[in-house]
Structure 1
């Protein structure tokens, strides 16, 4: 019996080859009808025999294309229309609501990678090869539905051959909107500072501003061996300093020969230690040879990135394994379509260029995700003679270093400014950084940094992914709003979005900003924006907000913002004409975890970070909260310590150390002498500021306590970037080569041991296993001295459950023990481990207190401190062993990148709980 169904598929179903997939399924199951893209999904009219129709629907739902994400399939029986074939129809532009999800950008697929290096393929070495399974998506789209005319590819009319592929339902490039070739598509461009020998001749191409001087075309055969033809030695290039020279004309790679000439020149400069600005999917990268210490140092100096580790790009997993330890989970992430930067443990026998990721156990690694990156790495490897370099290094006793090529790939910006996305802007803003610019003429419509993740041990759950930065490849995929917040609400997809409830715009925090925009049962959390104290980053925040609202056609009904009155986002929120919900920073942290896991509460929320405005006006950051989706009570916090100088105590941790010593009455301890001596006259200034209460906020921040410990131990007293003191403190665990006289740079060649998996001494092994059976009596005594004391808090008449806790955690004993051991010349690596273990135990103690008093056994951990692998993994193991259920951020970073989602959920749930018209 023949039947007819109208089928609506919602999710990420546009730009991922979904319609050709449906077409092929229809042919397989003898289905007649049609399929089209609409603004709220993909619509299918299917007619066929009942059994075949059922099988068609099942496979449609269960085996969609890998790059798609089917969230809902709706079926409706309709009358037969007696179609005699199946066709793909043009997109429906008449729908009103835009509920379709937009795919993030996708890494180059294996098929396109093979064609890229196949001399017999017409797209051989074309830097923009793509198909329905890969290529740019969100960074080129301008409006929905996703069609070529609605992307930045609208400026590139297809040639006849590309048009045939685009129109063939059985072709891999059927309706691949960015599809192109050398004849009709985008092309790479090249521009370098004048004065460097061997420069390419400029080519004035259509679309280039008239003030760019034209130059003769590059000869057709110039690309075959450009470096050989110019006969320029690496020494000559290195000797030239063209960074102050003006930029020369632009050369365009409009043919394969011209494109190859540009790539040859790019490789030539990389091998000579030069820095390139290379345009990617979401913005420019600054690129140099990662094995060249001089190039790495030069990039650091020009970019003003003094100490923060660089990420590198390697060609494939074989290259990755030569330098780093990568398990199945890491390999799966590295090779997935998202292609994030993955933090990997360095191999113990690997040697890295000084300045790359000094004194850290991990290296950020990613694989190529654009055709241009594939070509650049391939050609760089071929030209650099890596096989010879590998043999030489093996003879020297280290088989890993320089065995395969790798390139530094860092964001194309200066200091805290947003990543550059436009070629003309790059010429201006990166003028003094890059020796040359490898750009192209396909416009970037959305600014996207690379995502950063790591794999952690999550107790009995096994390995889990932790986001450090969520951006390219993941955003704008939506997160589900918690079911509890929608209780009693009709969430039928047949109902309009406007009828299903309000939309919240959550501004996010001041640092590591993301924003969130809700629609129905989902929240779109933006890509990483950055620190909004920077004016250009704030402008980028406004631009991204407008883009999301326009693209998804969402008009917010309410704004959620941070409690801090001086945040730019908070000021902006109160300047708008919409109702505003203020959400305390650490409540947002905890609720982000609850919402990710579908928890309604109450939970014991533990939020450890560097800063967050508290209900009492102090700076919070060491909080134990009793939390549900709409409210919290402050059960416990770390005892307040002064921050002499406020923000200056963050930039200069010795000031923070002084505040800790003052608060814990440890200024006269012998172990504090070195820190006080290093402070010099500033010690007296700090003392006066604290005594008089001048610019000395009080803080409960665990992050600041870690900063103080790092400074006292001499590990990091003058950080080059945010979080460096705590990062290096963790990296010091288990090491015996770090002392008060040993800086991070001095320890470059002594890669920290992975103390979680392979502790370096029997005593440390026993500590890592939470078993002191193998410890000596003195070691057991030392471990017990590193304690966080628990004391009852004293409330005042004006105290509330939100600003005054029941319990205080006092870190004075832990700091006293740290100073005792420092004075006794105990290795800093052992002190660092004991200090961390004290905080692990404090977390367990807090959980046990809450359980004994309130019966709450579910915990939610969040905050930037939980990016500390040692602390998080050991806390998870200890809590699980103690019988607790623990949730952590899994779809968002635990740092402030999760705040906007938490804000949105609190505001949305609060409006429902108040019994108001949603968001009224």
Structure 2
């Protein structure tokens, strides 16, 4: 045996299973003529290599610098171990069982790679147009995974035995489909079929809907794919039938990767309008899918940063500014201020004859931005290819692809569920027999034009369950999240795993989804939470779930959770100020918060409220959130402006449709009946939007603020000269609280009065909207700077749903930085309530650690 022969053991943790890591190790071991083994284990990937010292060193270099595209190494340790005599060759050994404390990171679902697209495009390839083509570099992961290690028998592919050809690929370390767990072909893999209308009676041939973690394997009832869709178009003819139905203006429910989409022709006003009517979604923007970047550029402006997001392996929805005339209520499409559905004359021309009707203006009636995504599954690629072939020359193949659910419910996961829940919306269905174990919506992102950085509006498919890395090790906690835009969070060691978007906890279906993920995350991570943390609000569904969990229960107020989330993302330890700006949240003093300046020390676990926006009344309570005109009139009444202006200005915009209710409102205000006060930033936006006649009644959350933001005049609201934006900004002075506390107050009453006075003079709404935004930004920055100077805390964290307002997200950080402050913002989670569970978990983890 040569004297310079060495044997070295490497332990690699991170995202190293299901990403082609073992064949990569096999190849670089062969390149360096090494013997040894590689295996998946609970602790990660174990590698032992043996050979000449220089070759082993070269292997270590390649292991660090030539990783597969999807691999993400968190740690790599190595140690020399005794040489093994007589070893021949390098072997890939079977996986060990997952267990408690495993360090494996579960891969998110990955868009179809270029190699697989080439296979599907080649008529001579056996996977030509096959809608479940994948390899180790792409395909489903999280949505089909039941347990770790990520092996086929622990996924929903367990029901599909490999044919000899696929088995040979799966077993060949030099093939890119080596141990690609979803590997399949038309002979042995899942199949699609087309259903024209929901069938009557039991859907016996529609596949098997599996609850997360239930397992199918070889259990009775795991029928072969050939038993499904009998008598109906299957395979490519099924997708061709779907394409023809969509081209004919029909609405389809399409089973995809993490659930169902509702799809229709994005250029058809009739189809889009009917989808809106059936789904009870009159105004909220709809996402579209186009085949490639060239198609996207015919509809929207695409910056280099937006291109990187659109074409990345995560393939989120990206909000891009539409080309002139293609969105935002252009070309005769009215945007009624009262939130009523758009009423279009079917005989009226909607599009200028100089502009091709690429998408309907009904896609995004409230905003000039369109949510665009590129295909991320083989099925999408095939569908858009076949659909595009049916269109006249010059048309862009663009399909609406919106979540397959009824309003407020979770996305549909299984065939039977979709046929039951979507039959009143969809005309036709495209189903398949690969079970989705974990329902996951599309992620929604945009690019901040000032920084070029991406920002999440919804974090789900493609990014979940990617962890947020925390400072130091810590105990395991389960965070229940907020009531709206709910997510869950489970911590393991120095990582926080935030779930996909779950939704608003307003119905039993969403509660069931919440329970699915609350059980699934600890199971797949193989951890046992030591405590559960919830919001302070006593009546939330998440509160009841926490109290019934059997675990010790911790609490954290909503807005402090927002700031803890920002600090956790930025791995900031110690004191910081935080501006938490959103709709409404239950404050720890029993009042309704929503525009708060907070002090948070996440090491000393100290926090306090130092400032807020001036309180405004909500006449009618929850009704005021749905009808912003109530907030506007209540605030006018509070300021002594109790009669409509008649001398040259329009009367209050809501008097036409709500005159009777408006006449009764002063009684509520005088008596203080069902009229809570709030410091909410979001409700202030609502009041201004209603006063300007932009939106007096909302049909979705944030609608009034969205219309107000996009009504701004053209003095660089989203970029360009920061100084020009503040031209003639309305005043928003600081004052002390009038309740005897030490809280600093930003006098947004003065800000609103300035809005009213300009509106009464007939100033154009666009100018008023921009001056309001500028005044609010300046006031918030002044308030934070004043407190930072007194407290000697120069760090300000920004969070809350109002930070999804692009104007605030561009100009508020700049205004704070101009005052000498360090600004922390979200990068891995949305600034809205989707980050709350992380803040809850980060705070609770430190509290438990402090207790020892």
Structure 2, unaligned stretches of length 5 or more? Answer: 211-225, 327-356
Pick from 589, 600, 608: which aligns with 1:616?
Answer: 589
1:228 maps to which residue?
Answer: none
Pick from 367, 377, 383: which aligns with 1:376?
Answer: 383
Separation of aligned partners in 2, 1:631 and 1:588: 13
Does structure 1 residue 79 correspond to structure 2 residue 54?
no
Separation of aligned partners in 2, 1:194 and 1:880: 57
Separation of aligned partners in 2, 1:650 and 1:8: 54
Separation of aligned partners in 2, 1:653 and 1:251: 53
Pick from 245, 263, 280: which aligns with 1:287?
Answer: 263
**Partner SS, residue 528 of structure 1:** coil
Separation of aligned partners in 2, 1:173 and 1:587: 47
**Shift, 1:284, TM fit:** 0.3
1:475 maps to which residue?
Answer: 464
Distance 1:405 1:807, change over 3 A: same
Deviation string for 1:583-633 (max 9, x for gaps)? 011100011001101111311100100011101111100000111222311
Is the 2:252–2:428 Cα contact (8 Å) retained in structure 1? yes
Does structure 1 residue 416 correspond to structure 2 residue 396?
no
Pick from 831, 836, 849: which aligns with 1:899?
Answer: 836
1:698 maps to which residue?
Answer: 677
Pick from 521, 526, 551: which aligns with 2:499?
Answer: 526
Distance 1:252 1:44, change over 3 A: farther
**Shift, 1:40, TM fit:** 2.3
Separation of aligned partners in 2, 1:23 and 1:624: 55
Does structure 1 residue 102 correspond to structure 2 residue 106?
yes
Distance 1:139 1:676, change over 3 A: closer
Pick from 292, 316, 319: which aligns with 2:295?
Answer: 319
2:651 maps to which residue?
Answer: 673
**Shift, 1:186, TM fit:** 0.2
1:354 maps to which residue?
Answer: 361
Does structure 1 residue 588 correspond to structure 2 residue 561?
yes
Deviation string for 1:86-105 (max 9, x for gaps)? 11111112755333111011
2:276 maps to which residue?
Answer: 300
Does structure 1 residue 603 correspond to structure 2 residue 565?
no
2:330 maps to which residue?
Answer: none
Query: After alignment, is 833-842 or 573-582 more displaced?
Result: 573-582
**Shift, 1:75, TM fit:** 1.0
Query: After alignment, is 694-703 or 94-103 more displaced?
Result: 94-103
1:452 maps to which residue?
Answer: 444
Does structure 1 residue 833 correspond to structure 2 residue 770?
yes
Mapping for residues 765-776 of structure 1, pairs under 5 Å: 768=724, 770=726, 772=727
1:64 maps to which residue?
Answer: 67
TM-score normalised to the size of structure 1? 0.83
Deviation string for 1:784-808 (max 9, x for gaps)? 5x11121112454xxxxxxx55211
Deviation string for 1:460-504 (max 9, x for gaps)? xx31111000000001111112x2xx4xxxx5xxxxxxxxx4211
**Partner SS, residue 485 of structure 2:** coil
Is the 1:658–1:676 Cα contact (8 Å) retained in structure 2? no
Deviation string for 1:387-431 (max 9, x for gaps)? 2xx2xxxxxxxxxxx4x2100000000000000010011111111
Separation of aligned partners in 1, 2:243 and 2:275: 17
Distance 1:151 1:829, change over 3 A: same
Distance 1:895 1:439, change over 3 A: same
Does structure 1 residue 790 correspond to structure 2 residue 734?
yes
**Partner SS, residue 569 of structure 1:** helix
Separation of aligned partners in 1, 2:725 and 2:22: 53
Is the 1:191–1:250 Cα contact (8 Å) retained in structure 2? no
**Shift, 1:261, TM fit:** 1.6
**Partner SS, residue 834 of structure 1:** helix
Mapping for residues 97-246 of structure 1, pairs under 5 Å: 97-193=101-197
Pick from 514, 531, 536: which aligns with 1:541?
Answer: 514
2:453 maps to which residue?
Answer: 464
Is the 2:208–2:435 Cα contact (8 Å) retained in structure 1? no
**Shift, 1:251, TM fit:** 4.6
1:652 maps to which residue?
Answer: 627
Query: After alignment, is 835-844 or 55-64 more displaced?
Result: 55-64
Q: CA RMSD in A?
A: 2.3
Distance 1:686 1:154, change over 3 A: same
**Partner SS, residue 62 of structure 2:** helix
Separation of aligned partners in 1, 2:432 and 2:47: 38
1:224 maps to which residue?
Answer: none
**Shift, 1:518, TM fit:** 0.8
Separation of aligned partners in 2, 1:909 and 1:677: 53
Is the 1:621–1:702 Cα contact (8 Å) retained in structure 2? yes
Query: After alignment, is 830-839 or 78-87 more displaced?
Result: 78-87
Is the 2:206–2:416 Cα contact (8 Å) retained in structure 1? no
Distance 1:811 1:181, change over 3 A: same
Is the 1:136–1:281 Cα contact (8 Å) retained in structure 2? yes
Separation of aligned partners in 1, 2:725 and 2:255: 47
2:222 maps to which residue?
Answer: none
**Partner SS, residue 34 of structure 1:** strand
**Shift, 1:644, TM fit:** 1.1
**Partner SS, residue 384 of structure 1:** coil
Pick from 408, 427, 432: which aligns with 1:440?
Answer: 432
Deviation string for 1:728-747 (max 9, x for gaps)? 11011117xxxxxxxxxxxx
Separation of aligned partners in 2, 1:251 and 1:316: 34
2:223 maps to which residue?
Answer: none
Does structure 1 residue 812 correspond to structure 2 residue 812?
no
Is the 1:263–1:376 Cα contact (8 Å) retained in structure 2? yes
1:579 maps to which residue?
Answer: 552
Separation of aligned partners in 1, 2:427 and 2:716: 38
Separation of aligned partners in 1, 2:707 and 2:53: 65
Separation of aligned partners in 2, 1:123 and 1:4: 42
Separation of aligned partners in 1, 2:693 and 2:401: 31
**Shift, 1:38, TM fit:** 1.1
Separation of aligned partners in 1, 2:614 and 2:639: 10
Deviation string for 1:152-192 (max 9, x for gaps)? 10000000000000000000100000000010000001111
1:689 maps to which residue?
Answer: 668
Separation of aligned partners in 1, 2:197 and 2:401: 21
Is the 1:466–1:893 Cα contact (8 Å) retained in structure 2? yes
Is the 2:725–2:774 Cα contact (8 Å) retained in structure 1? no
**Shift, 1:249, TM fit:** 7.3
Separation of aligned partners in 2, 1:413 and 1:864: 23
Separation of aligned partners in 1, 2:198 and 2:146: 36
Is the 2:243–2:387 Cα contact (8 Å) retained in structure 1? yes
1:868 maps to which residue?
Answer: 805
Pick from 756, 767, 777: which aligns with 2:718?
Answer: 756
Deviation string for 1:293-319 (max 9, x for gaps)? 100001111111111000000100101
1:496 maps to which residue?
Answer: none
**Shift, 1:766, TM fit:** 8.1
**Partner SS, residue 389 of structure 2:** helix
Separation of aligned partners in 2, 1:617 and 1:329: 43
Structure 1, unaligned stretches of length 5 or more? Answer: 196-201, 210-216, 219-247, 391-401, 492-500, 736-752, 759-764, 773-782, 797-803
Is the 2:478–2:841 Cα contact (8 Å) retained in structure 1? yes
1:714 maps to which residue?
Answer: 693
1:502 maps to which residue?
Answer: 475
TM-score normalised to the size of structure 2? 0.90
Distance 1:208 1:12, change over 3 A: closer
Separation of aligned partners in 2, 1:78 and 1:414: 59
Distance 1:768 1:365, change over 3 A: farther
Distance 1:157 1:754, change over 3 A: farther
